[in-house]
Structure 1
Amino acid sequence: MFSIFIVAAAYSPESGRARAAAGAFTLAVMLAMVTEVPGRPKDWKPWPRFCKLISKDLDGRSYFTAAELGGALDQIKPGKNLFAVHWHPHGILTAGYTWNLFWNFDLHERTGRIGFLCDEGLRRKMPTFRLMCDWYENKNRYADSATKEVIMEAMKRGDSLALLPGGFQEAVICARGKDRVYIKKRAGFVKYCLQHGYRITPVYNFGESDCYHTFRPFLSIRLWLAGQNIPASIMFGNPFCPLLPLRSTSLHSVVGPPLELPQIADPTREQVAEWHNKYMEALTTLFDKHKAETGRPDAVLELW
């Protein structure tokens, strides 16, 4: 890592080489500070000023054509609610999830304390992402790994949760202009909600699939890689920085009425399947209700 910065400084124009070297050294020190090494885990204190900068001064509405959250907001109850958010693809940003939910502090006032769950590798091992998540935390919100252990502990406390049940597979099946969710083989979150008596609130992000042009061949191979926790999604967004989404995108995230589940300490496969089917029906109903108002009247939701 350090060798990259040294080479970059060495090949800078001679007039700016000293400044380039100083900048490269500073950046290298910063990365070393946030990188986890054996025996020295890094946990950083929350930084409210950072959160204000992102949520107020650099929010999604300053980048996208639109970025808004709607739907059955008045039916959100605090505590014991799991928001199942559908997105595709993520690239660097899970755009709707990020701007319309994660950084939406007004939403957190409705939900009560809420945990946003993501891939464990991102949360724990990616230095800059880990730093941001540590800075983000306060009494109303936190970001953590979407592991069984984390989910179980959060549900014992009664926290609201938001997760992305489609995972990397939902990113892989993304095609611009299509609305696809990877859900038919994702029933684990339903079982957890039954065990702890949680409501499930479906959330769909209209416009998410238009954030990038995506690579579509070799789908079966890329789905297999996604199953190995490798994000095998290739996309091209903003021409000036392809990893960023297209600025012309409008992001309309909608929440549906909460699905009230019974509490069953040890649900059977049949009970999990029953409520999983009810969830997929609720998601489809939410999609069909809002697709016209978000500019996609002829869209069809594909359940994979």
Structure 2
Amino acid sequence: FPGSLPLPLPATKMALQKHLEALSVFQWVLTYLFFGAFFSILLVYLLFTSYWSISVLYFAWWIFDWDTTERGGRRSDWMRRWRVWELHRDYFPIKLVKTADLPPTRNYVLGSHPHGIICAGAFSAFCTEATGFPRAFPGLRPSLAALAGLFRIPVYRDYLMSLGGVPVNKRSLDFLLSGPPGHAVAIVVGGASESLDSAPGEQRVRLHGRKGIRAADLVPVYTFGENDIYRQIRFPEGSFARRFQLGFKQLIGFAPCLFSGRGLFSSRSWGIQPMAAPLTVVVGKPIPVPRRPRPTEDEVNCFHALYVKALKELFDAHKESCGLPVSQQLLIT
């Protein structure tokens, strides 16, 4: 503008950096929401064009490669180190906190809480190198277990595997946890049902009845701030809308949430861009679990109780340093 002074160079660089951070998160959200549907439609469309051979070749590969998702996947350390993930980390920002050593002589199940809307903290910590997991826990190979149905979607499955994603089903987890040591598989224990409880300022996780993992040491993980990056329209229990959400989740595997964040480069409401709330991913101490081919119900209940206790202690020990009031309690349902 005439007569205006140019911005100082550091301020210009800072503004550019903020825009790049926002764009990195925006592309990640678009990928999360639309990547699978886009490539599925594109491949079907190409079947009816002169480029049909591309779809035929991919679908042949898709069938041939079907079991790879449940046999450890096909990760790419190059993709996990992309600069875009560092920008994604800095947008919120996201920090990884280590509270104890995890020797690579064991396999671990990292119980990640809470689910939130989009699992931003878990993604950054376990699907990228941006938060420094390999430096904090040398010798461990992190993976993030996601909804198994996502690994049947063309192209999207390859993208997820490249970042270290694996299906959260028995065959996939058994392959990783029953093999050589050094695997750390993060599971968002509350799942899609827990996403319906996500709301800013609330700390609620679902753990009752979730007792399926029995093959590795258990490690509680809590991401402070995960519920603060989106606002959600929550429907009362028993209402038609709530029953629809739960029914859809039962049928498809994920719960349709009505949520809002902010605009891409503004603070206006009802955008899909997450709000820039600090996220702290705190990794707790391991709970040794002996290998039992057929554990008794009492043994399973005992370790479940130990895990719940450890998660509460982890939450209470770090809540104040992560900006929560001392009076804040973790609600477990």
Q: Which amino acid aligns with 1:86?
A: H
In structure 1, the residue matched to 2:191 is 167
The 1:71/1:245 distance shift into structure 2, 3 A limit, reads same
In structure 2, the residue matched to 1:19 is none
In structure 2, the residue matched to 1:291 is 319
TM, length-normalised to structure 2:
0.69
Q: Structure 2, unaligned stretches of length 5 or more?
A: 1-37, 47-53, 66-72, 265-269
Residue 104 in structure 1 maps to residue 102 in structure 2: no
**Aligned pairs for 1:202-281 within 5 A:** 202-220=220-238, 221=243, 222-228=245-251, 229-240=253-264, 242-247=271-276, 249-281=277-309
**Aligned pairs for 1:58-77 within 5 A:** 58-61=87-90, 63-64=91-92, 66-72=93-99, 74-77=100-103
Q: Is the 8 A contact 1:200 1:259 kept in 2?
A: yes
Q: Structure 1, unaligned stretches of length 5 or more?
A: 1-23, 137-141
Match of 2:82 among 53, 72, 77: 53
Secondary structure of the equivalent of 1:154? helix
The 1:179/1:31 distance shift into structure 2, 3 A limit, reads farther
The 1:275/1:36 distance shift into structure 2, 3 A limit, reads farther
Residue 183 in structure 1 maps to residue 240 in structure 2: no
Distance 2:57 2:271 in 1: 28
In structure 2, the residue matched to 1:124 is 152
In structure 1, the residue matched to 2:9 is none
In structure 2, the residue matched to 1:41 is 62
Q: Which amino acid aligns with 2:291?
A: Q
Aligned residues: 261
In structure 2, the residue matched to 1:12 is none
Give 1:245 shift.
1.4
In structure 1, the residue matched to 2:217 is 199
1:167-189 alpha-carbon deviations (Å, 9 max, x no partner): 10110111221001111121112
Secondary structure of the equivalent of 1:184? coil
Give 1:131 shift.
3.3
Distance 2:261 2:280 in 1: 18
Residue 82 in structure 1 maps to residue 105 in structure 2: no
In structure 2, the residue matched to 1:95 is 120
Give 1:263 shift.
2.2
Residue 301 in structure 1 maps to residue 323 in structure 2: no
Secondary structure of the equivalent of 1:296? coil
Aligned-residue sequence identity (percent) comes to 23
The 1:272/1:293 distance shift into structure 2, 3 A limit, reads same
Distance 1:260 1:46 in 2: 27
**Aligned pairs for 1:12-23 within 5 A:** none
Q: Which amino acid aligns with 1:226?
A: K
Q: Is the 8 A contact 1:83 1:163 kept in 2?
A: yes
Q: Which amino acid aligns with 1:69?
A: L
Q: Is the 8 A contact 1:172 1:226 kept in 2?
A: no
Q: What RMSD, in angstroms, separates the aligned Cα atoms of the two structures?
A: 3.0
The 1:35/1:218 distance shift into structure 2, 3 A limit, reads farther
The 1:69/1:40 distance shift into structure 2, 3 A limit, reads same
Give 1:119 shift.
0.6
The 1:223/1:163 distance shift into structure 2, 3 A limit, reads same
The 1:155/1:230 distance shift into structure 2, 3 A limit, reads same
Give 1:208 shift.
0.4
Q: Is the 8 A contact 1:55 1:103 kept in 2?
A: no
Residue 115 in structure 1 maps to residue 148 in structure 2: no
The 1:31/1:163 distance shift into structure 2, 3 A limit, reads farther
Distance 1:207 1:227 in 2: 27
Give 1:301 shift.
0.6
TM, length-normalised to structure 1:
0.75
